Amino acid sequence: MKATGFACVFFTDEADRPLQLRSVYSADHPWQLAGGTMDPGERPWQTAARECREETGITVEGPTALLAVVYGLPGGEWPYSTMGVVFDGGRLTEAQIESIVLDPEEHDEVRVLALDAWRPLMPPRDFARLSSVMEARRTGVTAYFDTWDWETA
């Protein structure tokens, strides 16, 4: 079996509202966490920290708490299984959020909303993953989310 790996950093504001980035290249998955695909020889935390820095300008120290393990089966859009992890980036102040510098080749907006406000903006599976990550943050129990399949939205 072949698989690709990814790693993300999950942030909220001080009121525990999730922060996400709007993708310029994925209409099917418009709102994303800071993160991306692992480079050859890179470990998950290295990927999460590098991608976070590249996509937001935020340097995170860690590794931090692991919030979720995410798995998806391959599909027509993506020929490999996908395995990834989501690390806890903590709570950002309003000033930290305002200082985010996006990579315009990847994202064009930062948004912070209450969890339920994200539902109409995301495919159901993406919202379910975000909800799982929020629950893991709340309970301290790492989420195992294994329905990140490419065949369904």
Asked whether the bond before 63 is cis by omega within 30 degrees of 0, the reply is: yes
Q: What is the pLDDT of residue 76?
A: 72
Structure confidence by residue, pLDDT tens digits, 82-114 = 899 999 999 999 999 999 999 999 999 999 999
pLDDT for res 85: 97
More confident residue, 149 or 138: 138
Rounded CA separation 75/92 (Å): 35
Q: What is the mean predicted confidence (pLDDT) over 38-46? A: 95
- Dihedral pair phi/psi, residue 48, rounded to 5°: -60, -45
Q: Residue 119 CA to chain centroid, in angstroms? A: 15
* Reported confidence tier of residue 118, pLDDT bands at 50, 70, 90: very high
Distance CA 153, CA 72 (A): 12
pLDDT over threshold 90, residue 72? no
**pTM exceeds 0.85:** yes
Give the residue-averaged pLDDT of 6-22.
98
3-state secondary structure of 126: helix
